Amino acid sequence: MILNKKYLFSLAVTCFAVFAFTTADTDPDYPNKESLLIDVVLQSLQYNHYKPAKVDDALSHRAYDIYLKRVDNGKRFFLQEDIDGFLTHRDLLDDYAMKKDFNFFDDLHKIRDQRIELVKKYYKEILAKPFDFKKEDKMETADEKIAYAKTEKDLQARWHRLLKYRVLLDLEIKLKRQEKAKAKETKEEAVEIKTVEVLEAESREKIMKQFDRWAKDISQEDRDDKIAAYINTIANVLEPHTGYFPPLEKENFNIRISGKLEGIGAQLRQEDGYTKVVRIVPGSASWRQGDLEVNDLIIKVAQGKEEPVNIVDMKMDDVLPMIRGEKGTEVQLTVKKTDGTIAIVPIVRDIVVMEESYAKSAVVEHKKTKKRVGLIDLRSFYADFQDPRGRRCSRDVKREVQKLIAEGIDGIVIDLRFNGGGSLRDVVDMSGLFIETGPIVQVKGRDSRPHSLEDRDPSVLYDGPLVIMVNSFSASASEIMAAALQDYGRAVIVGTSPSTFGKGTVQRFFELDAVVPQRYKDLGELGSMKITIQKFFRINGGSTQLKGVIPDIILPGVYSYRKTGEKEEDFPMAWTEIEPVYYKESSIKKLDKIKKKSEKRVASNERFSLIDERAKWFKSLQEDTEVSLNLEAYRAQQETYSKTSEQYKGINKDIPELKIDVLAADAAVFESDTIRAASIKNWHKSLKKDPYIEEVVQIIGDLN
């Protein structure tokens, strides 16, 4: 949940007044950016966090434990003797931070770098020889169930098992493809039939290339990258949503929350040292210019008429700022085409809009109920905080509701499944579309009394039947909207899990460079801190923190038996409650009857039975973490999985009772925009297979 300017004015004055970077009476000597950065980060956390932690041994223990887990995820680098040596520092990270002492950091990474060099040697030696897949080896895939290797020999054996497993996975795919080709069950072009030995060699070669890329990527980690991860760990010990953002990460966050950026409109990926074009964004500058194509390899970048810079083997974090840039400026890309020719592609940068991230709607009709239901799909509470006239989800959803009303729909469903949240202002404005006036959510800072954020507009855009769809990944702003409309009795909340995610906190970005005295600017750009400054509460006084929102109707879900949500994160904030605020409480008429009707339909719906069975099966697979490295045993296991999976094919079949229509207001747009029309067509195809959509459409019928 990101707080924005409408609700920030008084708070911002307080924060910036208090968080003026302070130094000792005698000017400290900051020999480098990292010593300044750790000072500014610690001060920003102490002054601004909702519940700042004491910089003490307890904080040190938390940071130490998380950091070790992050720098050696999978226990593939360090030996137990390394860990024993680090242990003397477990109480001291707080002292090091206060003293701006990075000796532990340096010592740890010196040993890590040595181990990585050893591992590079291991994987090349191991993959140079054939594996014996007739041996009865096993590998534990759950990191928490294995200990650190005791000796270098043990570490080498661990890597042997890991690489053998990776080759086994690829070999199984190749063998399966051959078998299908022999049985003529594949539409692929002719598949050359090869021996297991030849396929095994090809798989080893493929995995070798993958690990060569990994080795190159890890060698490109510079000190700034490592320092950022270290400092971020210290921030994360307060709770999971507070963190440090280097400049490029903050830029990427702004792109995600606004759904737009300034650049060329090409999705890029690093591959074998090259920056490869993997997608052209429809309608973007690259798309309009026409010469840049998918699979082009960018080898040089020039700003306008300046000299081009070779970017081969350059890490992506350094490439992206060179290609992105202000609207109206030119970038010249030297690219290698798939036929081997070299071309220079000049592109004038523009605003890149990612339409797929914005709200969209459709009309869904069920043949049994004959009800026409408006469905609004909203994947995030997006907002362009840099441009007051930019896209905001509340305005977009309002427009979609107006279009649906014009269609004469019998009810509206807002799909917030997998919606992780976003703008606080927009969730308040959006909720207000469906009620007269009143509070939507209560927020409380660390030193302030709770206050409510209200809808003050007495008009109601839509007062008909309303359903909000959620799941265990619906978080933050999604939970605010679901909770508010549930408390008002304005909407039926339908979920595919026992509760939503359980994030009940509000964050705000603080630009660290804005508070640093001019005399330190030469040390370099510091970046930003995202800090939890408030908790939010339901208008009934309860909190969504940890507990989430419990749906009125719970449908069987694929994640029903998995551990998900805020409570599974490291160091989440505790659940608390406050006094309720006055609001016009109401309830859904006949909700109990509606629940019973839904339960009856679900009980007789084979798809939901299959979904529940598959969820239990997934849970059992999750718990069975040891895999066989014997080819015959592994293939037998995969065959069993394949047969079991075959039983659940019925889940993804078309639902003949559902009819999906484009809105009349959108028809002309889709006729002229074939790319957008294709995207909407694919969305409609997925809706046609969605049993949850079928059920909520029938719930709307019950509400009428």
Q: What is the pLDDT of residues 87-122, one digit of tens each?
A: 999 999 999 999 999 999 999 999 999 999 999 999
Same domain, 213 and 343: no
d(CA 699, CA 368): 12
The per-residue pLDDT for 1 is: 60
The per-residue pLDDT for 17 is: 34
Q: What is the pLDDT of residues 125-148, one digit of tens each?
A: 999 999 999 999 999 999 999 999
HEC letters along 641-674: HHHHHHCCHHHHCCCCCEEEECCHHHHHHHHHCH
Beta bridge partners of 505: 535
Q: What is the pLDDT of residues 230-287, one digit of tens each?
A: 999 999 999 999 999 998 888 778 777 777 778 888 889 888 788 999 888 877 889 8
Q: What is the pLDDT of residues 625-650, one digit of tens each?
A: 999 999 999 999 999 998 999 999 88
Residue 610 token pair: 């299959």
For 294-302, what is the mean pLDDT? Answer: 92
Q: At what angle do helices 152-182 and 103-127 cross, to 10 degrees?
A: 50
HEC letters along 110-150: HHHHHHHHHHHHHHHHHHCCCCCCCCCCEEECCHHHCCCEC
- Average per-residue pLDDT for the chain: 90
474-609-377 Cα angle (round to 5): 30
Residue 26 has pLDDT above 80, yes or no: no
Residues in the chain: 704
Residue 227 has pLDDT above 90, yes or no: yes
Q: Give the pLDDT band of residue 695 (cuts 50, 70, 90).
A: very high
The per-residue pLDDT for 15 is: 37
Please indicate, yes or no, if residue 41 is contained in any of the structural domains.
no
Please indicate, yes or no, if residue 16 is contained in any of the structural domains.
no
Choosing from 353, 386, 418, the residue where a domain stops is 353
Residue 198 has pLDDT above 90, yes or no: yes
Kindly tell me the sign of the dihedral angle through the C-alpha atoms of 663, 669, 671, 676.
negative
Among 24-38, 67-81, 150-164, 296-310, where is mean pLDDT lowest?
Answer: 24-38
d(CA 358, CA 659): 23
For 376-385, what is the mean pLDDT? Answer: 92
Provide the 10 A C-beta neighbour count for residue 563. Answer: 10
The per-residue pLDDT for 7 is: 37
Choosing from 334, 353, 372, the residue where a domain stops is 353
Same domain, 306 and 393: no
The per-residue pLDDT for 261 is: 77
Same domain, 433 and 573: yes
The per-residue pLDDT for 9 is: 27
Q: Which residue has the higher pLDDT, 25 or 200?
A: 200
The per-residue pLDDT for 353 is: 75
Please indicate, yes or no, if residue 78 is contained in any of the structural domains.
yes
Please indicate, yes or no, if residue 46 is contained in any of the structural domains.
no
Same domain, 165 and 78: yes
Q: Give the pLDDT band of residue 20 (cuts 50, 70, 90).
A: low
Among 96-100, 152-156, 427-431, where is mean pLDDT lowest?
Answer: 96-100
Please indicate, yes or no, if residue 274 is contained in any of the structural domains.
yes
Residue 131 token pair: 């594996």
Task: Tell me the CATH number at 452.
Answer: 3.90.226.10
Residue 14 has pLDDT above 50, yes or no: no
Among 114-118, 212-216, 465-469, where is mean pLDDT lowest?
Answer: 212-216
Same domain, 299 and 282: yes
Please indicate, yes or no, if residue 339 is contained in any of the structural domains.
yes
Q: In terms of pTM, does the model score above 0.75?
A: yes
Among 178-192, 357-371, 654-668, where is mean pLDDT lowest?
Answer: 178-192
Same domain, 365 and 223: no
What is the extent of the structural domain holding 457? 356-526+536-604+654-703
d(CA 573, CA 50): 10
The per-residue pLDDT for 8 is: 33
Same domain, 370 and 304: no
Same domain, 500 and 553: yes
Same domain, 230 and 268: no
Residue 25 has pLDDT above 60, yes or no: no
Residue 142 token pair: 């759950």
Please indicate, yes or no, if residue 167 is contained in any of the structural domains.
yes
For 457-484, what is the mean pLDDT? Answer: 97
| Sequence-separated (6 or more) residues with CB below 8 Å from residue 133 | 164, 168, 171, 200, 629, 630, 631, 632
Amino acid (one-letter) located at 303: Q
d(CA 174, CA 631): 13
Among 202-211, 214-223, 392-401, 431-440, where is mean pLDDT lowest?
Answer: 214-223
Choosing from 291, 323, 353, the residue where a domain stops is 353
| Sequence-separated (6 or more) residues with CB below 8 Å from residue 266 | 277, 279, 280, 281, 284, 286, 292, 323
With beta carbons less than 8 A apart as the criterion, state whether 500 and 479 touch: yes
Nearest-CA neighbor of 433 among 398, 479, 405, 484? 398
Same domain, 389 and 488: yes
Question: How much of the chain, in percent, has pLDDT values that exceed 90?
Answer: 69
Same domain, 329 and 379: no
- Give DSSP secondary structure letters for 257-271: HHTEEEE--EEEEEE
Residue 322 has pLDDT above 60, yes or no: yes
Please indicate, yes or no, if residue 545 is contained in any of the structural domains.
yes
Number of domains the chain is built from: 3
Task: Tell me the CATH number at 301.
Answer: 2.30.42.10
Q: Give the pLDDT band of residue 189 (cuts 50, 70, 90).
A: low
Residue 13 has pLDDT above 50, yes or no: no
Q: What is the pLDDT of residues 523-534, one digit of tens each?
A: 888 999 999 999
Residue 390 token pair: 């930019």
The per-residue pLDDT for 6 is: 38
Number of H helices, E strands in the chain: 21, 22
d(CA 511, CA 15): 12
Nearest-CA neighbor of 412 among 374, 439, 378, 385? 374
Same domain, 377 and 347: no
